[in-house]
Structure formats: C-alpha cells, structure tokens
Structure 1
C-alpha cells in the first residue's frame, strides 16, 4: 500500500500551514493555520473493509516540567513518548482521500467533538492532556491537531502519518478513545500499512 500526503515529502519539514504552533519572534510561538493535509492512498489489498489514519510524534518529552520554560532546555537524551495528533477510524473501504482542511481548519480552543467526523470516526488526540491545565484551552481535542513541539527542545521532532487497511468494517470504538485504544483494537486486523515521516521544530537553533 502507498500513502501520499500532499505538499509533504518523506524526511522533510512539514509546512507551517499544517501546524498547530508556528514560530513567533516576540512570543516564541503563536497559533498556526492548523489545517489537516490532504492524505490519499492506493494499492489497497483485497479484502479491505475499512481504514485507520493515525499521525503521531514519538519525540515528545516524557517529563513536561521544563516544556516552554524560559532559561531552560529539554535535553536531547530525555526519554520520549508517543503523542497522537490525529486518529480517524472506521473510514469506509471505498474512501481513498481525505481533502486538505476537511478534518481541521484552524486552532479551535477547547477542541473538536469526538465521534463521527467528515470522514470516519474521530478519536481523542493528546492535546486533551497537554492543554488540560490551561483554562482558556482545556477541553477534549478530537481529530487532527498539528505539530507544536516545545520551543526549548534540543531534539528535532518527527511526525508519522500512517494509513492502515483493516479486515473489519469497524473497530467498535466509541466515546473518548485514544491512540493506545486504537492500536490495541487494530491488532490482528491489519492487512497492510503505509507511512510518511516528516519533521518540525519551534526551536530557532534547530530550524
């Protein structure tokens, strides 16, 4: 199976139009356009009954105490964890494309609703946890929300866009399900997968 993310090349930086946060000389970071990129796929295996689309960042600090703190840096060798940016499940078997901006077009304070979206069923991304302590932004973030790595992180962040072809029409997930729930539900049902990896940073020393 092949995946194509329009305007994005494997191993290259993701354009700012797809980012939740963009560089700002005065405030370090400001909100970005936060549009989901166009994602398409082909060479689908026979027997496919649905698709899952996932985007995640495996380079997120496991300890967030120093994230975006003046006078501090997040060391490159700090252990990292997965941060899910996009979860769409139960995408019908006849779908081969998610248009740009279809699932996200701008930063929405307090998030987008879970459940059926424009295409497929939205899961909860990790901005739900990351922004929980911000009274202006706290909420349930579902569907796509793009990159916004810490501006003081010494590590370049990588973002994996994945599409998985499944042998079931539905994963049976509902409510506020997360990335780990999707991975667990997919186990044993994946016929084929494809991935594109891009990078992003808000650290001016790495840009």
Structure 2
C-alpha cells in the first residue's frame, strides 16, 4: 500500500538552516531591513484539511516567551502559496478571508527579524498548519498565545522551515 506524502513547505526566499536576507529584517528598533514576509508554497495537505494557518516564531527572543513575528489564519483550502510580502500591513495579496493576527510588535502583519545586537544567532520557525476547521473564530486583538493555542488545537499536520538571523 502506498503511503500518502507528508505536508511540505518550501520557499523561494528562505531556506531551512540558512541565514535570511536583509529583506526579512524588521524596520525599527534599530533594524533597517525590508520587513517583507517570505514567499511560501506548500503541497500534500492531509485528508480532512479545511484551511491553513502560517506562523513565524522566534524561540530565542530574550522575553521568556519567544516572539511572534507573524500569524495568518483562515487561509482557504484552495490556497497553495503566498507571494513575497503577502504579510504587509493591509495586504491585498493575502487570499480572501485570511486574517493576520497582531504580532509582538503590535501590528496585524508580518514583522521581520530584529534580534538584539550581539545576542547571537536566532531561529525563525515558519510553520504551515493544515487545520481541521474552515475558520478559527478569534476575538478582535487576539493575542499570539491565544491564536497559537487555537491553531495547535486544530492542526492535523504541520511543516516548518527554520531559518536563521543575527545582528552583530
């Protein structure tokens, strides 16, 4: 019996285990990058998938709780990619019905990497979640933790690209 292929995530802009470009660096807090979310593509969603979510999280941020850089929920099942900079403020590139959750910079958009100078290498986990529900009904101004909880509670399968970044 043939096994179904696993959910897979790929990108033209970032690579697993590799440094991100200045294009994915934040603008502010001393950072001067492009603040552009990376292009992402995926395939092989598991049976029962009804929508997707994408998260970008830095577990190395010196906060005690990491740093949410991006969360997008309610991505339609028919979607298989997001273009570079789809996570901009008031994005018109995101698929209809998708919703960006407020990141830890306080903006409903992608917020690029901006680790403290001299803090060393940080890991940025871009994760695609195949969800068992069509829509996550989150309150206005939902926290990253609440969105993360609801995403994880409804995830059938996920795939991650862990990119790297540091400032000296």
TM-score range relative to shorter protein: 0.7 to 0.9
CA contact (8 A) 2:31 2:114 kept: no
- Distance in 1 of aligned mates of 2:34 and 2:125: 19
The reply to whether residue 89 of structure 1 matches residue 54 of structure 2 is no
* Residue in structure 2 matched with residue 123 of structure 1 by the alignment: 101
CA contact (8 A) 1:21 1:147 kept: no
**CA RMSD in angstroms, aligned pairs only:** 2.2
* Residue in structure 1 matched with residue 109 of structure 2 by the alignment: 143
* Superposition map of 1:1-207 within 5 A: 1-21=7-27, 29-62=30-63, 80-104=64-88, 112=89, 118-119=94-95, 120-128=98-106, 141-153=107-119, 155-203=120-168
- Distance in 2 of aligned mates of 1:51 and 1:13: 26
Q: What's the offset of the Cα at 1:123? A: 0.2
- Distance in 2 of aligned mates of 1:16 and 1:89: 26
Q: What's the offset of the Cα at 1:21? A: 4.7
Q: TM-score, normalised by structure 2?
A: 0.87
5+ unaligned residues in a row in structure 2: which ranges? 1-6
- Distance in 2 of aligned mates of 1:30 and 1:82: 18
- Distance in 2 of aligned mates of 1:183 and 1:21: 24
After superposition, give the CA deviation of every residue in 1:32-80 in whole Å (9 maximum; x if it has no partner): 1111110111011111101010001001113xxxxxxxxxxxxxxxxx4
CA contact (8 A) 2:86 2:93 kept: no
CA contact (8 A) 2:57 2:68 kept: yes
Could you say what secondary structure the match of 2:148 adopts? helix
Q: Which of the two has higher C-alpha Rg?
A: 1
Could you say what secondary structure the match of 2:146 adopts? helix
5+ unaligned residues in a row in structure 1: which ranges? 23-27, 63-79, 105-111, 129-140
Could you say what secondary structure the match of 1:91 adopts? strand
Give 4+ residue runs of structure 1 displaced > 6 Å after superposition. none
CA contact (8 A) 2:83 2:93 kept: no
Q: What's the offset of the Cα at 1:187? A: 3.9
